[in-house]
């Protein structure tokens, strides 16, 4: 253990704790102890403090015991001639630093100083529901940096963190040698789908400034989140880490040791310190080491070798100018590789032969009209995609053909018709897997930087940016991408892939007809695929790496709560990976067809949950409801006074009649425990005939986030018809007309909601 690091970290910690105490004293005097303190949109209070001490800080006064705790962790700076190991002292000081840093940020929120203002800056944001032409949404913080990550975003990354698409996060603190290096570092991390959190500065200059100057889009959608230009804002990375453990690991505030171990074992994160390291940075780094996150510096600093707190080395120095490489860009690449190696991050990347950067980090990217070279589909043209299986001998693997003219002749920002037809063959391939594979086209094509893909089937809509076209991206590359990705992601069922891109009108017409016949056929197949027509359901334990006792039971009529896995997906996944997270559950004997109990599902629930859950009712929210990890698309919750349930969408940040927002509700619904009356679900379960059918079905829905009403309008209309009440959806309240129980009841009376006259729900 280096005395140099220990001394500087301990000194930094002492200074910061003193600063936090002074700030708190001043704030208490000016604002009073009752003044509310909170980070936006989180159910976990001040997450690091909550995780490490169990204190649920809601007002300034409660920060006093917190600071007392931080003070107790401090140690005197080691004297010059007395050498002891110091590791414990250094780690304690690091923890005190983190607590002080979170306290300071919380006080800054009280004074409206967080998120940090950044005039003229806006975050790359937006959801699948915002059209690219209206600016793509945004996180609503124009003119500010991001500040802490909200629970909604944390949960929506959850599934990617769990299934390995997102291997971990990098907390970058400081400023890179040059703007060029800053961009390269971020690109290298994005390429590997590693979340990048940005903070800190060196002499006032931050990597955030460097990236903004270079026009790099920062925000949730690009996996690059600017926290703040000071070192303190790096605390948000550790708040994120704590919440991962609380959200997905079923841990509670105050379980400090478990939370730290959880992070060491499951969250592949590291700190990359760019530029000079001062006392405060040493102290914060010591805090990160508590989580098992190693620190890599691009300057000369003493190293800390492995002692078990992190997996490998704790602190590694890799002076940038001494990295052996032909230029700075290659040095940046090496530096990122080194970080990954030291943290042991597992990275999966398919080698996709396209002239633009490629990786999941680009999936959410938006191509605006002004930046567009050409589009296929949308308002002015048609685009369809169709994947089907053929006998092995009928195709040549890797064959990519464009039939018809290229887009060279189409003017800038123009459009043209395109049909993408994919033929796959494989010994393990089944017709049932066609829609599963076809749906991947969206993700695969979106992975190319500068390409945007929306929709599926015959309402696909693809844009190529001018930047991508200038780099030589053309129609053929769609085929190259699909070929590479089907092999890398579905190699177990796909042996050969052939792609044809049609732009020739007659051929498009002919193939479109074939495709539509196939879509119809699949729709019928799906409609016939009911829970009673199969003799096995599937388990999904993908989320167990985060929520160790949670299992999704996926049936034809009830998809996984994340919305990403339906019964066919699970079936395909089982074929691809027979020992993987999706296993068939033989139904065995039917115990209760109304509530949805089988001997097979009950047995599995016990085993899969490691005894935490005894039984699972597939069709009830009131009795033994299915548990939830944290990735649910919607929360369904009983409103006792209404004799019905409300459905809150993840996208809805407004208040609900239960007196809580989605983030707060999520804290109740997740964690892998059964809570009668509360359930996390995938949104397509809402339209299933088996949706809480034991409790009265869809007619129990008395309130629903308007975003669901809008985005699922057609499906919901069909449900209303099925339920024999065509106006049902208009009788359901939403956040625009009821945000309290009283308002809800008044609305129900006024609109004659059927739940009023149904049998008591409990
Ligand atoms: Fe996680 Fe359930 Fe989705 Fe599987 S189906 S990934 S367990 S939420
Ligand atoms: Zn999950």
Ligand 1 site, residue 567, Cβ cutoff 6 A: no
Q: Which residue has the tokens 């270079």?
A: 214
Q: What is the CATH number of the domain that holds 697?
A: 3.40.1470.10
Give the pLDDT confidence of 714-726 residue by residue, as tens digits. 999 999 999 999 9
Residue 129 has pLDDT above 60, yes or no: no
Residue 136 has pLDDT above 50, yes or no: no
Task: From 88, 3, 70, 75, select the one nearest 308 (Cα to Cα).
Answer: 88
* 460 in any annotated domain: yes
Tell me how far apart the alpha carbons of residues 543 and 641 are, in angstroms, rounded to a whole number: 34
Ligand 1 site, residue 542, Cβ cutoff 6 A: yes
Residue closest by Cα to atom 4 of ligand 1: 540
Q: Which residue has the tokens 């991001």?
A: 146
> Which residues are bridge partners to 598 per DSSP?
590
Ligand 1 site, residue 189, Cβ cutoff 6 A: no
Ligand located closest to 629 CA: 2
Pocket test for ligand 1, best of 543, 616, 626 (most atoms within 8 A of CB): 543
Task: State residue 67's pLDDT score.
Answer: 97
Q: Which residue has the tokens 């699909």?
A: 482
466 and 416 share one domain: yes
- Please state the atom number of ligand 1 nearest to the C-alpha of residue 541: 7
499 and 601 share one domain: no
Count CB neighbours of 510 within 10 A: 13
Give the pLDDT confidence of 174-194 residue by residue, as tens digits. 999 999 999 999 999 988 889
Task: State residue 251's pLDDT score.
Answer: 84
* 289 in any annotated domain: no
* 491 in any annotated domain: yes
Q: Are 748 and 642 in contact (CB under 8 A)?
A: yes
Count CB neighbours of 693 within 10 A: 19
Question: How far, in Å, are 81, 385, 681, 682 from residue 563 at the CA level?
Answer: 61, 22, 8, 4
* 388 in any annotated domain: yes
Residue closest by Cα to atom 1 of ligand 1: 543
474 and 578 share one domain: no
- Please state the atom number of ligand 1 nearest to the C-alpha of residue 564: 3
Pocket test for ligand 1, best of 560, 630, 681 (most atoms within 8 A of CB): 560
631 and 731 share one domain: yes
Between β-strands 552-554 and 536-540, what pairing exists: parallel, antiparallel or unpaired? antiparallel
* 559 in any annotated domain: yes
- Tell me the residue ranges of DSSP E strands in 72-231: 168-174, 195-199, 224-228
* 46 in any annotated domain: no
Counting the structural domains of the chain, the total is 2
437 and 549 share one domain: no
473 and 599 share one domain: no
Residue closest by Cα to atom 3 of ligand 1: 562
Distance 234 CA to ligand 2 centre (A): 26
Confidence of residue 758 (pLDDT cuts 50, 70, 90): very high
Q: What is the CATH number of the domain that holds 491?
A: 3.30.1650.10
pTM equals: 0.71
Ligand located closest to 630 CA: 2
Q: Average pLDDT, stretch 607-634? A: 93
Q: Are 254 and 56 in contact (CB under 8 A)?
A: no
Pocket test for ligand 1, best of 553, 564, 577 (most atoms within 8 A of CB): 564
Residue closest by Cα to atom 5 of ligand 1: 560
* 199 in any annotated domain: no
Q: Are 274 and 231 in contact (CB under 8 A)?
A: no
Ligand 1 site, residue 562, Cβ cutoff 6 A: yes
Q: Average pLDDT, stretch 61-78? A: 94
Task: State residue 133's pLDDT score.
Answer: 34
| pLDDT, mean over the chain | 91
Q: Which residue has the tokens 């993408």?
A: 420
Pocket test for ligand 1, best of 156, 162, 249, 540 (most atoms within 8 A of CB): 540
Task: State residue 428's pLDDT score.
Answer: 85
362 token code pair = 């680009």
Ligand located closest to 157 CA: 2
Task: State residue 341's pLDDT score.
Answer: 85
Between β-strands 590-592 and 634-639, what pairing exists: parallel, antiparallel or unpaired? unpaired
What's CA 631's distance to the chain center, in Å?
Answer: 8
Tell me how far apart the alpha carbons of residues 312 and 262 are, in angstroms, rounded to a whole number: 16
- Where does a domain end: 463, 483, 503? 503
Give the pLDDT confidence of 412-432 residue by residue, as tens digits. 999 999 999 999 999 889 998
> Which residues are bridge partners to 454 per DSSP?
461
Ligand 1 site, residue 564, Cβ cutoff 6 A: yes
Task: State residue 132's pLDDT score.
Answer: 34
Give the pLDDT confidence of 309-322 residue by residue, as tens digits. 777 778 999 999 99
- Please state the atom number of ligand 1 nearest to the C-alpha of residue 581: 4
592 and 494 share one domain: no
Q: Are 13 and 93 in contact (CB under 8 A)?
A: yes
Ligand located closest to 550 CA: 1
Confidence of residue 104 (pLDDT cuts 50, 70, 90): very high
Ligand 1 site, residue 540, Cβ cutoff 6 A: yes
Ligand located closest to 561 CA: 1
Ligand 1 site, residue 400, Cβ cutoff 6 A: no
Ligand 1 site, residue 561, Cβ cutoff 6 A: yes
Confidence of residue 154 (pLDDT cuts 50, 70, 90): confident
Task: From 185, 175, 234, select the one nearest 210 (Cα to Cα).
Answer: 175
426 and 560 share one domain: no
644 and 690 share one domain: yes
Tell me how far apart the alpha carbons of residues 99 and 232 are, in angstroms, rounded to a whole number: 11
Task: From 411, 405, 429, 343, select the one nearest 374 (Cα to Cα).
Answer: 411
- Please state the atom number of ligand 1 nearest to the C-alpha of residue 565: 5
Q: Dihedral through CA 127, CA 131, CA 136, CA 140, nearest 10?
A: -60
481 token code pair = 């991408």
Ligand 1 site, residue 228, Cβ cutoff 6 A: no
Distance 147 CA to ligand 2 centre (A): 25
Residue closest by Cα to atom 6 of ligand 1: 542
DSSP readout, 332-399?
Answer: HHHHHHHHHHHHT----------SS-BSGGGTT----GGGEEEEESSSSS-EEEEEEE--GGG--TT-
Confidence of residue 137 (pLDDT cuts 50, 70, 90): very low
Q: Which domain holds residue 399?
A: 368-444+454-503
Ligand 1 site, residue 553, Cβ cutoff 6 A: no
400 and 538 share one domain: no
Give the pLDDT confidence of 506-550 residue by residue, as tens digits. 999 999 999 999 998 988 888 889 999 999 999 998 877 667 888
499 and 535 share one domain: no
- Per-range mean pLDDT, top range of 139-148, 157-166, 384-393: 384-393
Count CB neighbours of 175 within 10 A: 24
533 token code pair = 């027509």
Count CB neighbours of 14 within 10 A: 21
Tell me how far apart the alpha carbons of residues 439 and 457 are, in angstroms, rounded to a whole number: 8
For 275: left if phi > 0, alpha if psi spans -120 to 50, otherwise beta; the answer is left
664 token code pair = 């707060």
Task: From 97, 100, 298, 284, select the one nearest 199 (Cα to Cα).
Answer: 284
Pocket test for ligand 1, best of 157, 558, 562 (most atoms within 8 A of CB): 562
* 395 in any annotated domain: yes
475 and 589 share one domain: no
Pocket test for ligand 1, best of 164, 565, 573 (most atoms within 8 A of CB): 565
Between 201-210, 470-479, 516-525, the lowest mean confidence (pLDDT) is in 516-525
Ligand 1 site, residue 376, Cβ cutoff 6 A: no
**H-helix segments, 311-433:** 328-343
3-state secondary structure of 364: coil
Distance 248 CA to ligand 2 centre (A): 7
């Amino acid at each position: 253990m280096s005395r140099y690091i220990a001394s500087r970290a301990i000194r930094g910690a002492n200074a910061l704790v003193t600063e936090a105490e002074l700030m708190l004293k001043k704030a208490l005097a000016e604002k009073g102890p009752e003044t509310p303190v909170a980070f936006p949109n989180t159910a976990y209070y001040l997450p690091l403090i909550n995780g490490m001490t169990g204190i649920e800080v809601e007002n300034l006064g409660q920060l006093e015991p917190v600071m007392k705790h931080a003070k107790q962790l401090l140690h005197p700076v080691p004297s010059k001639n007395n050498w002891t190991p110091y590791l414990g002292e250094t780690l304690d000081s690091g923890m005190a630093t983190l607590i002080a840093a979170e306290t300071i940020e919380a006080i800054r929120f009280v004074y409206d100083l967080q998120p940090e203002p950044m005039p003229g800056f806006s975050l790359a944001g937006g959801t699948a529901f915002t059209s690219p032409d209206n600016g793509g949404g945004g996180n609503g913080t124009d003119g500010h940096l991001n500040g802490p990550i909200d629970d909604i975003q944390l949960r929506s990354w959850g599934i990617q963190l769990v299934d390995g698409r997102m291997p971990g996060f990098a907390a970058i603190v400081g400023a890179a040698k040059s703007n060029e290096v800053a961009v390269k570092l971020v690109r290298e991390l994005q390429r590997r789908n590693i979340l990048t959190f940005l903070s800190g500065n060196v002499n006032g200059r931050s990597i955030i400034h460097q990236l903004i100057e270079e026009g790099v889009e920062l925000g949730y959608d690009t996996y690059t989140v600017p926290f703040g230009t000071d070192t303190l804002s790096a605390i948000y990375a550790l708040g994120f880490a704590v919440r991962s453990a609380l959200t997905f690991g079923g841990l509670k505030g105050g379980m400090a040791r478990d939370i730290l171990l959880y992070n060491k074992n499951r969250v592949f994160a590291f700190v990359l310190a760019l530029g000079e390291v001062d006392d405060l940075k040493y102290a914060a780094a010591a805090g990160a080491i508590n989580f098992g996150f190693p620190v890599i510096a691009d300057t000369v600093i003493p190293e800390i070798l492995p002692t078990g707190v992190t997996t490998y080395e704790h602190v590694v120095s890799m002076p940038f100018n001494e990295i052996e490489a032909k230029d700075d860009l290659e040095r940046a690449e090496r530096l990122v590789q080194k970080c990954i190696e030291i943290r042991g991050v597992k990275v999966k990347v398919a080698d996709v032969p396209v002239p633009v950067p490629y990786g999941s980090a680009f999936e959410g990217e938006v191509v605006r009209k002004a930046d567009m070279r050409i589009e296929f589909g949308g308002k002015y043209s048609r685009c369809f995609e169709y994947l089907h299986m053929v006998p092995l001998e009928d195709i040549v693997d890797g064959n990519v053909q464009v039939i018809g003219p290229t887009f060279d002749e189409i003017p800038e920002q123009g459009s043209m018709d395109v049909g993408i037809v994919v033929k796959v063959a494989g010994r393990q391939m089944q017709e049932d897997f066609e829609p599963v594979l076809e749906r991947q086209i969206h993700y695969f094509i979106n992975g190319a930087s500068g390409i945007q893909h929306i929709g599926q089937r015959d309402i696909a809509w693809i844009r190529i940016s001018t930047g991508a076209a200038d780099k030589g991206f053309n129609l053929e590359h769609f085929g190259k991408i699909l070929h590479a990705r089907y092999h890398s992601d579905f190699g177990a069922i796909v042996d050969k892939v052939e792609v044809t891109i049609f732009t020739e009108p007659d051929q498009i017409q002919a193939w479109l007809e074939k495709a539509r016949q196939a879509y119809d056929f699949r729709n019928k197949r799906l409609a016939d695929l009911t829970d009673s027509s199969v003799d096995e359901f599937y388990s999904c334990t993908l989320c167990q790496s985060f929520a160790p006792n949670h299992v999704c039971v996926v049936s034809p009529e009830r998809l996984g709560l994340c919305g990403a896995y339906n019964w066919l997906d699970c079936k395909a996944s089982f074929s691809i990976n027979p020992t993987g997270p999706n296993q068939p559950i033989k139904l065995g004997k039917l115990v209760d067809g109304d509530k949805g109990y089988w001997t097979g599902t009950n047995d599995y629930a016990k085993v899969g949950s490691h005894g935490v859950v005894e039984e699972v009712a597939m069709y009830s929210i009131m009795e033994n409801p299915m548990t939830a990890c944290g990735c649910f698309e919607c929360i369904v919750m009983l409103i006792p006074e209404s004799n019905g349930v409300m459905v809150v969408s993840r996208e809805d940040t407004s208040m609900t009649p239960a007196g809580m927002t989605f983030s707060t509700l999520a804290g109740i619904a997740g964690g892998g425990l059964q809570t009668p009356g509360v359930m996390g679900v995938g949104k397509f379960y809402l339209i299933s005939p088996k949706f809480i059918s034991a409790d009265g079905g869809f007619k129990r829905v008395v309130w629903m986030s308007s975003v669901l009403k809008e985005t699922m309008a057609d499906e919901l209309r069909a449900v209303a018809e099925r339920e024999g009440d065509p106006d049902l959806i208009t009788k359901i309240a939403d956040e625009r007309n009821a945000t309290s129980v009283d308002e809800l009841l008044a609305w129900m009376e006024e609109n004659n909601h059927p739940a009023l006259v149904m049998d008591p729900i409990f």
